[in-house]
Amino acid sequence: MSKVKFVFCTHNHQPVGNFGWVFERAYQVSYKPFMQVMLNHPKIRWSLHASGMLWEYISKEHPDYIKSVKKLVASGNLEILSGGYYEPIMTSIPDRDKIGQINKLTAYLENKFGCEEVNGAWLAERVWEPGLAKNLCEAGIEYTVLDDAHFAAAGMEPENLRGYYTTEEQGCSLNIFPISQNLRYSIPFQNVENTINYFKKAALNAGKDGQPPVLVMADDGEKFGMWPGTNKHVYENGWLEKFLTAIEENSDIVETASFSEILKTRKSSGMVYLPCASYFEMSEWSLPSDAQQKFENVLGRYSGDAEAKTFMRGGFWRNFLSKYEESNNMHKKMLYVSDKIKKYTDNNKPFSEKSLDSLYAGQCNCAYWHGVFGGLYLPHLRNAVYNSLLKAENLYNKSFLKRSSWTSCDFDCDMENEYLYESKTQNIYVKADRGGSIFEFDILKISHNLLDVLTRRYESYHKRLKDNISRAVIASDDDEEVRTIHNDEIKVKEAGLDKYLSYDLYRRASLIDHFIPKETKHEDFTFVRFKENGDFVSGKYEAKISASKLILKRNGKVDGNDICLTKTIIPSVTGYAVHYEIENNSDKEADLCFVPEQVFAFSSRTGDDCADLKEISLWKRYDDYFKIEVEVKLSEKSAAFVYPIETISNSENGYEKTYQGTVFAPLVKKVLKPGESFKFDMETVVNIKI
């Protein structure tokens, strides 16, 4: 029997833009008590990774914790891992930013804690692509940690992974430690005895190479206190204390070790080339919703067949960029700003550390995807990404932007040009091939994208909510039941959520040109239960830049009539005017109800966000958080629908309804004879009240 080397690693992270009280709660219920227990076990070696902004928060608010870390590092009990400073998905950012983010965190750790050598890196969400090996090597990294699911995807047996492996990219070598899913799922949720028995079994089945087996448990630190019911379980009921004591008492079977110690005392178990992967659950979440439902059905049929599941996998992280247009928009904005920042060096301008740091903060991964945590569905996280990116862009503009102008480029990399208006006060981005709509509207003084609104779309878990709504229970903040986040229990934050499961037929944007029946009711328009009489919403418009104007034109159909719609977007200092001209080119009369819909990402819903207005020429909405007032002026009095966009998403604490933005949709009713046209103007102004 060979003694098991056990590497115990926790990863602590809170996203950019998360609320201060969440940072503090995570510290009080998870990070602090975990550290206190570890300090009482000087025989235990362990490893820790925390994202840079979390280190900054703890350093400022809880310096005693930092002293404890320094003490453990100095004694050799604690090894700290580097990684991306702001926890980006490494595969999604430019190579120069990958290396820059790692170097920033490595330097911080060496300066803050006196680490002699930081040579390991944590990869956010363990998202792996083969090319990363070269990037990590170039950043001075010798090893990283990935799930055994990555190795299973390469045809290897997870239960036979008892060491570490070596891969390479273009001759650059990197060591990879596999994380045991068995340990990840059992710690801290199962009895301590189960884990000790697992170590005993591993000790009896040592590898043929004669080297001691190595087992790794590396996972979120928040599962030790912040996940539902775990604070009482792990600390009050003493799970962590019992676990560490059991390891000490079974020192003839298992002993803790650091990653670096394993590298120095044990040979690599061989070469491996891993495919694009993350942990298994991520492969489910990243699939399109319909495919995800089918994948879950297949998993259900083979749930008892461990061998079959080994060869099952869904999508990979980049699928989120095609699954959610809003995620792709943020990602392409990040790449666009990163290229701008690069011009500081390309044009021999003074380098701006502040702009680079803002760019890095805008690469924080959490808002770019959605699984069991809120992620993309949480407006404050998306807002933080845009806020950071726009701050970086503002700094760039001071040096390089000479005049306001329209330009065209393939912004979102779909092989179709978008039209971008950029000034020192605002950005207006238009998709001519998608209804001639405005898909980004940046107010630069407050660094806010006023079109950061999430579309209501079907998610695979919506079926579970609908099918089980009668037995759903209201989630409680003081829920003490110990459970993982991977469970099928139906908990809701409020009753009646199934009533809000309506799905948009188009991406939420501004200047969406509807033609609808005149009798359409407010509620039907709100919940997408109306007939679209025209083909303009997602149709392709011809676009032409004329001085400071963007002219968009489409010949389309409305109830069989040939209709020509021309809209001209004219930017102002902070806002824009739109001049519409609609002509009936048919030989019969056209009875039209034209609805040029706009949507705005306010910080929260108000009582006025649901209204069926009559005969108005001005609509106003104030947002106290952003300190802005939005005005929409109409050239003639019209009725208007106002309603909130609210999504239903799943989270670790249950299903919840989230406000995303407010729609303003004027109803312009006209009857046009053959060859007749009408004109309509709409002006949107954002007044900043700071």
Residue 254, SS3 per DSSP: strand
Q: Any bridge partners for residue 168, and if so which?
A: 173
Q: Give the closest residue to 86 by CA, choosing from 44, 132, 55.
A: 55
Separation between Cα atoms, residue 400 and residue 347, nearest integer Å: 10
Residues with Cβ < 8 Å from 85, sequence gap 6 or more?
A: 51, 52, 53, 101, 102, 104, 105, 108, 360
Q: Any bridge partners for residue 598, and if so which?
A: 664
Residue 319, SS3 per DSSP: helix
Q: Give the closest residue to 130 by CA, choosing from 83, 89, 173, 169.
A: 169
Separation between Cα atoms, residue 129 and residue 147, nearest integer Å: 13
Helix ranges, 280-415 (H) = 280-285, 289-301, 306-310, 319-323, 325-346, 353-361, 379-400
What are the tokens at 134? 């070269």
Q: At what angle do helices 379-400 and 353-361 cross, to 10 degrees?
A: 150
Q: Give the closest residue to 81 by CA, choosing from 50, 127, 45.
A: 50
Separation between Cα atoms, residue 283 and residue 223, nearest integer Å: 21
Separation between Cα atoms, residue 493 and residue 475, nearest integer Å: 5
Q: Which of 56, 169, 220, 631 is catalytic?
A: 220
pLDDT at position 206 is 66
pLDDT at position 493 is 86
Q: Compute CA distances 437 → 120, 247, 578, whole Å.
A: 46, 61, 12
Among this protein's residues, is 587 annotated catalytic? no
Q: Compute CA distances 11 → 120, 221, 429, whole Å.
A: 13, 5, 38
End-to-end alpha-carbon separation of the chain, Å? Answer: 70
Residue 29 in contact with residue 36, Cβ under 8 Å?
no
Beta strands in 221-260 (DSSP E): 254-256
Handedness of CA 234, 654, 314, 305 (dihedral sign): positive
How much is the pTM? 0.94
**Residues of the chain scoring pLDDT < 70:** 1, 206-209, 346-351, 476-488
Q: Which of 125, 129, 255, 325 is catalytic?
A: 125
Residue 349 in contact with residue 428, Cβ under 8 Å?
no
Q: Compute CA distances 193 → 199, 207, 243, 244, 466, whole Å.
A: 10, 23, 8, 12, 39
Residues with Cβ < 8 Å from 537, sequence gap 6 or more?
A: 435, 505, 506, 512, 513, 514
Q: How much of the chain is helix, strand and coil, in % rounded to 5?
A: 35, 30, 35
Q: Give the closest residue to 620 by CA, choosing from 611, 636, 632.
A: 632
Separation between Cα atoms, residue 226 and residue 232, nearest integer Å: 10
Separation between Cα atoms, residue 214 and residue 219, nearest integer Å: 16
Separation between Cα atoms, residue 385 and residue 354, nearest integer Å: 15
pLDDT at position 365 is 97
Torsion of CA 320, 323, 329, 334, to 10 degrees: 10
Handedness of CA 149, 155, 158, 163 (dihedral sign): negative
Among this protein's residues, is 219 annotated catalytic? no
pLDDT at position 129 is 97
Q: Give the closest residue to 429 by CA, choosing from 398, 408, 400.
A: 408
